[in-house]
Amino acid sequence: MDALSFLRADHQSVLGMFEVLDGAPKGTGATESGLATMVTNLVIAESQHEAIEEQFFWPAVRKALDNGDELADRAIGQEQEGKKLLQRLEDSKPGEVDYHDALAEFIKAGREHIAFEQDQVWPLFAAAVGKAELEQLGEKLETAKKVAPTRPHPDTPPNPMVQKTMGTGAAVIDHVRDAVSGRAGENPPDPQAH
Ligand SMILES: [Fe+2]
Ligand SMILES: [Fe+2]
Protein backbone atom coordinates (compact mmCIF):
# COMPACT_ATOMS: atom_id res chain seq x y z
CA MET A 1 0.00 0.00 0.00
CA ASP A 2 1.32 3.49 -0.70
CA ALA A 3 2.55 5.45 2.31
CA LEU A 4 -0.14 8.12 2.27
CA SER A 5 -3.02 5.61 1.99
CA PHE A 6 -1.49 3.69 4.88
CA LEU A 7 -1.16 6.79 7.08
CA ARG A 8 -4.61 8.00 6.02
CA ALA A 9 -6.19 4.75 7.24
CA ASP A 10 -4.56 5.35 10.65
CA HIS A 11 -5.81 8.95 10.68
CA GLN A 12 -9.37 7.90 9.79
CA SER A 13 -9.35 5.40 12.60
CA VAL A 14 -8.04 7.96 15.13
CA LEU A 15 -10.51 10.62 13.95
CA GLY A 16 -13.29 8.07 14.48
CA MET A 17 -12.08 7.53 18.06
CA PHE A 18 -12.00 11.32 18.62
CA GLU A 19 -15.60 11.48 17.40
CA VAL A 20 -16.67 8.94 20.03
CA LEU A 21 -14.48 10.39 22.80
CA ASP A 22 -15.31 14.02 22.18
CA GLY A 23 -17.46 15.19 25.07
CA ALA A 24 -17.33 11.72 26.66
CA PRO A 25 -19.30 11.83 29.91
CA LYS A 26 -17.30 12.05 33.13
CA GLY A 27 -19.53 9.44 34.71
CA THR A 28 -18.75 6.59 37.04
CA GLY A 29 -18.63 2.80 36.98
CA ALA A 30 -19.40 1.18 33.64
CA THR A 31 -19.06 4.44 31.72
CA GLU A 32 -15.57 4.95 33.06
CA SER A 33 -14.41 1.42 32.37
CA GLY A 34 -15.64 1.72 28.76
CA LEU A 35 -13.87 5.07 28.48
CA ALA A 36 -10.61 3.63 29.83
CA THR A 37 -10.61 0.86 27.21
CA MET A 38 -11.30 3.29 24.40
CA VAL A 39 -8.58 5.66 25.59
CA THR A 40 -6.09 2.79 25.88
CA ASN A 41 -6.86 1.92 22.25
CA LEU A 42 -6.24 5.55 21.32
CA VAL A 43 -2.90 5.61 23.20
CA ILE A 44 -1.76 2.42 21.44
CA ALA A 45 -2.84 3.61 17.98
CA GLU A 46 -1.25 7.05 18.38
CA SER A 47 2.00 5.77 19.93
CA GLN A 48 2.52 3.35 17.05
CA HIS A 49 1.52 5.87 14.39
CA GLU A 50 3.79 8.69 15.52
CA ALA A 51 6.71 6.30 16.11
CA ILE A 52 6.66 5.01 12.53
CA GLU A 53 6.27 8.52 11.14
CA GLU A 54 9.35 9.54 13.10
CA GLN A 55 11.27 6.46 11.93
CA PHE A 56 10.47 6.71 8.23
CA PHE A 57 8.03 9.39 7.12
CA TRP A 58 9.71 12.55 8.41
CA PRO A 59 13.17 11.54 7.16
CA ALA A 60 11.59 11.04 3.70
CA VAL A 61 9.93 14.48 3.89
CA ARG A 62 13.24 16.11 4.90
CA LYS A 63 14.91 14.49 1.89
CA ALA A 64 12.20 15.18 -0.68
CA LEU A 65 11.28 18.81 -0.01
CA ASP A 66 13.26 22.05 0.11
CA ASN A 67 11.27 23.11 3.17
CA GLY A 68 11.16 19.51 4.45
CA ASP A 69 13.16 20.26 7.59
CA GLU A 70 10.83 23.09 8.54
CA LEU A 71 7.70 20.95 7.99
CA ALA A 72 9.16 17.92 9.80
CA ASP A 73 10.37 19.97 12.75
CA ARG A 74 6.97 21.59 13.16
CA ALA A 75 5.12 18.26 12.94
CA ILE A 76 7.52 16.50 15.32
CA GLY A 77 7.08 19.36 17.79
CA GLN A 78 3.34 18.71 17.68
CA GLU A 79 3.93 14.96 18.11
CA GLN A 80 6.13 15.53 21.18
CA GLU A 81 3.43 17.67 22.77
CA GLY A 82 0.92 14.95 21.91
CA LYS A 83 3.04 12.25 23.57
CA LYS A 84 3.16 14.29 26.80
CA LEU A 85 -0.65 14.41 26.79
CA LEU A 86 -0.84 10.66 26.13
CA GLN A 87 1.55 10.08 29.03
CA ARG A 88 -0.77 12.11 31.28
CA LEU A 89 -3.59 9.77 30.21
CA GLU A 90 -1.37 6.77 31.07
CA ASP A 91 -0.65 8.30 34.50
CA SER A 92 -4.24 9.08 35.49
CA LYS A 93 -7.66 7.46 35.54
CA PRO A 94 -11.17 8.28 34.32
CA GLY A 95 -12.88 10.45 36.90
CA GLU A 96 -9.67 12.36 37.67
CA VAL A 97 -9.58 15.96 36.54
CA ASP A 98 -6.22 15.64 34.79
CA TYR A 99 -7.40 12.63 32.78
CA HIS A 100 -10.33 14.51 31.29
CA ASP A 101 -8.27 17.67 30.75
CA ALA A 102 -5.52 15.72 28.95
CA LEU A 103 -8.09 13.89 26.82
CA ALA A 104 -9.84 17.09 25.74
CA GLU A 105 -6.49 18.72 24.93
CA PHE A 106 -5.32 15.68 23.00
CA ILE A 107 -8.47 15.54 20.87
CA LYS A 108 -8.09 19.21 19.92
CA ALA A 109 -4.34 19.03 19.29
CA GLY A 110 -4.66 15.67 17.50
CA ARG A 111 -7.19 17.02 15.02
CA GLU A 112 -4.94 20.00 14.31
CA HIS A 113 -1.91 17.75 13.87
CA ILE A 114 -3.71 15.45 11.43
CA ALA A 115 -4.98 18.47 9.46
CA PHE A 116 -1.44 19.89 9.31
CA GLU A 117 -0.05 16.63 7.94
CA GLN A 118 -2.82 15.98 5.45
CA ASP A 119 -3.40 19.52 4.19
CA GLN A 120 0.06 21.06 4.35
CA VAL A 121 2.60 18.26 4.12
CA TRP A 122 1.05 15.45 2.07
CA PRO A 123 0.19 17.42 -1.10
CA LEU A 124 3.77 18.73 -1.34
CA PHE A 125 5.25 15.33 -0.56
CA ALA A 126 3.00 13.52 -3.07
CA ALA A 127 4.00 16.00 -5.76
CA ALA A 128 7.71 15.57 -5.02
CA VAL A 129 8.07 11.77 -4.93
CA GLY A 130 7.09 9.09 -7.41
CA LYS A 131 4.57 6.27 -7.04
CA ALA A 132 7.30 3.66 -6.56
CA GLU A 133 8.80 5.58 -3.65
CA LEU A 134 5.39 5.99 -2.02
CA GLU A 135 4.83 2.23 -2.30
CA GLN A 136 8.26 1.43 -0.87
CA LEU A 137 7.77 3.82 2.02
CA GLY A 138 4.33 2.31 2.65
CA GLU A 139 5.87 -1.14 3.00
CA LYS A 140 8.42 0.15 5.50
CA LEU A 141 5.67 1.81 7.57
CA GLU A 142 3.55 -1.34 7.50
CA THR A 143 6.44 -3.54 8.67
CA ALA A 144 7.55 -1.06 11.34
CA LYS A 145 4.05 -0.73 12.78
CA LYS A 146 4.00 -4.42 13.72
CA VAL A 147 6.85 -3.88 16.19
CA ALA A 148 6.21 -0.24 17.12
CA PRO A 149 5.95 0.85 20.77
CA THR A 150 2.42 0.79 22.19
CA ARG A 151 3.12 3.50 24.76
CA PRO A 152 4.00 7.15 24.12
CA HIS A 153 7.58 7.40 25.55
CA PRO A 154 7.64 11.22 25.61
CA ASP A 155 11.24 11.20 26.85
CA THR A 156 12.63 9.19 23.93
CA PRO A 157 14.16 11.64 21.43
CA PRO A 158 12.12 11.78 18.21
CA ASN A 159 15.06 11.37 15.83
CA PRO A 160 14.82 8.44 13.42
CA MET A 161 17.94 6.53 14.56
CA VAL A 162 16.94 6.63 18.21
CA GLN A 163 13.36 5.71 17.33
CA LYS A 164 14.57 2.69 15.33
CA THR A 165 17.03 1.39 17.95
CA MET A 166 16.08 2.53 21.44
CA GLY A 167 12.50 2.78 20.22
CA THR A 168 12.49 -0.88 19.25
CA GLY A 169 13.82 -1.87 22.68
CA ALA A 170 11.05 0.15 24.28
CA ALA A 171 8.54 -1.56 22.00
CA VAL A 172 9.68 -5.01 23.14
CA ILE A 173 9.21 -3.98 26.77
CA ASP A 174 5.82 -2.46 25.91
CA HIS A 175 4.65 -5.69 24.29
CA VAL A 176 5.81 -7.75 27.28
CA ARG A 177 4.04 -5.37 29.67
CA ASP A 178 0.93 -5.50 27.48
CA ALA A 179 0.89 -9.30 27.59
CA VAL A 180 1.42 -9.44 31.37
CA SER A 181 -1.19 -6.78 32.14
CA GLY A 182 -3.76 -8.12 29.67
CA ARG A 183 -3.53 -4.82 27.81
CA ALA A 184 -2.62 -6.75 24.64
CA GLY A 185 -6.19 -8.00 24.42
CA GLU A 186 -7.31 -4.40 24.10
CA ASN A 187 -5.17 -3.75 21.03
CA PRO A 188 -7.23 -1.97 18.44
CA PRO A 189 -7.67 -3.87 15.19
CA ASP A 190 -5.63 -2.50 12.30
CA PRO A 191 -7.69 -0.01 10.35
CA GLN A 192 -8.86 -1.06 6.89
CA ALA A 193 -7.63 1.10 4.04
CA HIS A 194 -10.29 3.17 2.32
FE1 LIG B 1 2.12 12.67 13.10
FE1 LIG C 1 0.00 11.14 11.07
User: Burial, 114: exposed, middle or buried (Cβ in 10 Å; 0-12, 13-18, 19+)?
Assistant: buried
Collapse the DSSP code of 91 into the 3-class scheme (helix H, G, I; strand E, B; otherwise coil) and give the result: coil
pTM of the predicted structure, to 2 decimals:
0.89
Query: Nearest Cα to 48, choosing from 119, 118, 145, 183?
Result: 145
pLDDT digit string (tens) for the chain, length 194 residues: 999 999 999 999 999 999 999 877 666 665 676 899 999 999 999 999 999 999 999 999 999 999 999 999 999 999 999 999 999 999 999 989 999 999 999 999 999 999 999 999 999 999 999 999 999 999 999 999 998 999 999 988 888 888 787 666 777 778 877 887 777 765 565 665 44
Other Cβ atoms less than 10 A from the Cβ of 176: the count is 11
* Contacts for 134 with CB less than 8 Å, ≥ 6 apart: 2, 3, 4, 126
Residue 28 Cα to ligand 1 middle (Å): 32
Residue 130 Cα to ligand 1 middle (Å): 21
Predicted confidence at residue 28, as pLDDT, reads: 63
Ligand nearest to the CA of 9: 2
